[in-house]
Amino acid sequence: MYLIDTSFIGTVASVYPRDVFPSLWVQLEEPIFRGDSYFHKTVDKEMKEWKDRTLDWYLKHIDPQYIVSTDDNELALYTDVVRWVANKRQPRYKDRAVNVFMDAADSWLIASALRHDATIVTNEVRAAPDSRKQVKIPDVADHFGVRCIDLLAFLREMKISI
């Protein structure tokens, strides 16, 4: 199971625009919208807040059955993720970084990946080990043993070549 991060779609849209790379977008539709890939409800909310053509593409293809909702197990894991980010990680993240992380879908995405033993598909990159200014999905995922992959790894795993 794969959980798609908002940044993944955003990066694909900005680096590989649909008007220049239409075949990439067509080939992504199957694994993202009808395969073993899902969107957490918080990612779905972030996607729907976008005001560009990527939103139209998303809305055209998303099926509600591929949107993951929170259950009690995920809520408990979310608490563990937030507690580690806010209080236990050393060196501690700055308060602003923690707040940004908690306001985004990122914390829920990690908890959901833990709950469903899923791989997160994101284009976020790890921060420096002692970074305190930004909480990055791959850094937190590493701590909790959640696998993260980027666009190229996802394309390879889906056996997509352009």
For the chain, the domains span 1-162
Could you tell me the CATH superfamily of domain 1-162?
5'-nuclease (3.40.50.1010)
pLDDT on residue 24: 92
Q: What is the chain's length? A: 162
pLDDT on residue 51: 77
pLDDT on residue 94: 87
pLDDT on residue 93: 82
pLDDT in tens, 55-79: 888 888 889 999 999 999 999 999 9
Identify the CA nearest to 155 among candidates 31, 17, 14, 22: 31
Q: Which alpha helices (DSSP H) does 104-162 contain, by range? A: 106-116, 137-144, 151-157
Residues of the chain with pLDDT under 70: none
